[in-house]
Amino acid sequence: MSVRQEKESSTSALSAQEVESRYGIDLTVAEVLRHALRYISLQMQLKINAAALSPLLSEMNDFGIGLLGPRDEARDLDFDAIAMSTGAPAHFVINQYYARMAIEHWGAERFEPGDVVIYNDPYRGGSHVNDVGAVMPIFHEGRLMGFAASITHWLDIGGPVPTGFGPGLQRDVYAEGIRLSPRLLYKRGELVRETVELFTEQTRIADISSNDLQVVKAALQVGADMVGHYVDRYGPDAYLSAVEYTLDYSERAVRRALLEIPDGTYHAEDHLDNDSEGDPMLLRCTVRKFGSEIEIDFSGSAREDWNGYACQWSDTVSAAHLGLQAILLESVPPNAGAYRPVHVVAPAGSCFHALPPMSTNSGHLFFLVKSTTLVKMAISQADPKLAVGENYDDICILSFAGIDTRLKHPIPFVYIRFPLGPFGGSALGDGCCYMPIEEGNAVETSIEFEEEAQPLLFLEREFVTDTAGAGMHRGGPATRVVIAPLVDSESTYQLEQCRFPTKGAFGGGGGSMASILLHKGSLARWSGLEELAEPEVVAGFADPDDGAPIDPDDARAVFRISKLAGVHFKAGDVIALQVAGAGGYGDPRERDPEAVRRDVRNEIVSPAEAERLYGADLG
């Protein structure tokens, strides 16, 4: 039997006998512990949801939390991620680098029971400075059994820009906020005051920080305690055998799925709307797939650029894994085993592999999502049953910060919204209409909560007619969110696909482009039931004379950069943010006529477009 054949036979499920002989535990124990690891990480997640003050943690799930194994050469374990909660997938894969590099930097042998080490340097295998990593060792009778690990997105991390996202304003990493090499947050269970003070003195969210740092510790403790419970019950050797079994289980599932993808080399190309000068950035991805191995290569992509137009290699690798996981038809429990069959080429100095001191805080969002989409677009060509139309590929941001002067005692506020958007059509059906991006899996905070907590009013959140890419299975439509700040505010916005529309797959059409429009001082008009003032383009194509929206094909059209920080809006301005519509799948003429009629009834498609694109006879 050749090595290759052995690899492929290793994708089939193991018999009870094979489990016993390979891992020294019976199948029932192996499965009980495999599920227990996942369950523990979910309990850790609930602790954060229940106790955190930051809405990004309590409401949105912008964090990842779970368990790492120990270092044990004989068992091929090296602080690998063994279970992750269901929070934001952007925070799953990256622990393979972020947590391990922090543990190595601190020194695995230096950890004591009750310690928590905290870090946020993105150039140490991380994502961006807002993503605060933390690890707590798990000891059993003096033996290190692994770590509880978390990555939590901090609402504000100091630096010149509220919320930390400063495209165009943060030239390099030194302008991003506080950056911590690994250090103690808790020493043998005691809070280290000086570490907390870094957050209370240097961020804009002192109260949230002092609470949530303790919540992170409490959640890690839940993980450590629960692992301790299982180790007590089954013994340390059975526990570690089950860890090996759990990783191999996910690896087999991914290899099985990879065998289903036809061997070959597949290419995808896309653009980021603009670099820091306003020019488009070319993005390329080549996927090579043979047997149960895959290599994802971002060679040929644009060079890194200052002011936030680059991301960490670890982020790109994480995104490549997520793109693959997203396109596989079966979902695989996320752990290091699932990542074993994947190699990623991230050329140094490209926008997918920033070299210090490039700023990556904003680029974390742009390129994480772009690289996930590129992988999906490339693999889409391998097999129609895997293909998807392009989704809105951005973690969009609209933030507001300032002083809530409506109050008797004015207080500062920092607010960030991540509007959701639509997915592309696929062989299975129409694209979802309003979804978090794969990397996010995040819940949108409720408008009622936001209006209560922040000086903001939401005037509208609606699907927009004729924005969905046409197809046998159409893409999801764009959503428009209309917001009015009630006090003068400083904003950041980041929105992709304002220049290049989404693409369809296998004959499907592209969706509409995104934009941000400003209706100056229009809240009063809206309250008086009048029409809003004529819009001015904030992001997208504008008439150079008056800033009004213009057809992108008009020779006079100028592109206004779709990512910027330090933008000022006045109390009572009305801002309309519309995400891209998603691409369709398959020939629109093959769409079920009843589905077209339903789209017209739901105002997803207008009668005129139903006739033009779908040949519908609505008579």
Stretch that binds another protein, among 53-61, 154-162, 281-289, 416-424 (CB under 8 A): 281-289
- Which one, 65 or 93, has the nearer CB to another protein? 93
* Helix pair angle (16-23, 236-259), 10° resolution: 120
Q: Min. distance of Cβ 178 from another protein in angstroms?
A: 13
Q: Min. distance of Cβ 2 from another protein in angstroms?
A: 8
Burial of 316 (0-12, 13-18, 19+ CB in 10 A): buried
**Between residue 391 and residue 430, which ones bind another protein under the rule CB under 8 A?**
none
Stretch that binds another protein, among 230-238, 283-291, 367-375, 440-448 (CB under 8 A): 283-291
Counting contacts by CB under 8 A, is residue 78 touching another protein? Answer: yes
Q: Min. distance of Cβ 173 from another protein in angstroms?
A: 7
Stretch that binds another protein, among 144-152, 347-355, 533-541, 606-614 (CB under 8 A): 347-355
| E-strand stretches of 228-298 | 264-272, 281-290, 293-297
* Residues in binding contact with another protein, number by CB under 8 A: 53
Helix (H, G, I), strand (E, B) or coil at 55: helix
Stretch that binds another protein, among 36-44, 284-292, 510-518, 573-581 (CB under 8 A): 284-292
Contact in structure between 438 and 84 (CB atoms under 8 Å) = no
Contact in structure between 177 and 158 (CB atoms under 8 Å) = yes
Adjacency order of strands within the sheet including 190-191: 81-84, 63-68, 143-153, 131-140, 116-119, 183-187, 190-191
Q: Min. distance of Cβ 298 from another protein in angstroms?
A: 8
The span from the CA of 59 to the CA of 22, in Å, is: 42
Stretch that binds another protein, among 282-290, 323-331, 510-518, 552-560 (CB under 8 A): 282-290
- Which one, 41 or 350, has the nearer CB to another protein? 350
The span from the CA of 244 to the CA of 329, in Å, is: 25
* Residue choice 356, 412, 429, 607 for contact with another protein (CB under 8 A): 356
Helix (H, G, I), strand (E, B) or coil at 118: strand
The span from the CA of 617 to the CA of 619, in Å, is: 5
Contact in structure between 294 and 288 (CB atoms under 8 Å) = yes
Instruction: List, in sequence order, every residue forming a beta bridge with 417; answer none if it has no partner.
Output: 398
Stretch that binds another protein, among 140-148, 192-200, 355-363, 586-594 (CB under 8 A): 355-363
* Residue choice 13, 50, 348, 453 for contact with another protein (CB under 8 A): 348
Counting contacts by CB under 8 A, is residue 336 touching another protein? Answer: yes
* Residue choice 57, 145, 220, 346 for contact with another protein (CB under 8 A): 346
Instruction: Determine the residue type at 133.
Output: G
Q: Min. distance of Cβ 123 from another protein in angstroms?
A: 4
Counting contacts by CB under 8 A, is residue 77 touching another protein? Answer: no
- Using CB under 8 A as the criterion, what x/- string covers residues 86-125 for binding another protein? ----------xx--xx-------------------xxxxx
| E-strand stretches of 495-613 | 515-519, 536-542, 558-560, 563-569, 574-578
Q: How many CB atoms lie within 10 A of CB 359?
A: 31
What tokens were used for 393? 């590929």
* Residue choice 196, 345, 435, 464 for contact with another protein (CB under 8 A): 345
Q: Min. distance of Cβ 614 from another protein in angstroms?
A: 39
The span from the CA of 406 to the CA of 408, in Å, is: 7
Helix (H, G, I), strand (E, B) or coil at 23: helix
Contact in structure between 508 and 389 (CB atoms under 8 Å) = yes
Helix (H, G, I), strand (E, B) or coil at 36: helix
**Between residue 294 and residue 323, which ones bind another protein under the rule CB under 8 A?**
294-295, 297, 299-306, 313-314, 317
Measured CA angle at 400 (ends 394, 404), to 5 deg: 160
Counting contacts by CB under 8 A, is residue 599 touching another protein? Answer: no
Counting contacts by CB under 8 A, is residue 3 touching another protein? Answer: yes
Counting contacts by CB under 8 A, is residue 293 touching another protein? Answer: yes
What tokens were used for 561? 């950069």
Alpha-helical runs (H) found in 148-235: 193-202, 206-234
**Between residue 507 and residue 566, which ones bind another protein under the rule CB under 8 A?**
none
**Between residue 125 and residue 164, which ones bind another protein under the rule CB under 8 A?**
125
Counting contacts by CB under 8 A, is residue 280 touching another protein? Answer: no
Judged by the rule CB under 8 A, the positions of this chain that interact with another protein are 2-4, 78, 80, 96-97, 100-101, 121-125, 173, 179, 181, 282, 284, 288-291, 293-295, 297, 299-306, 313-314, 317, 336, 339-340, 342-350, 355-357
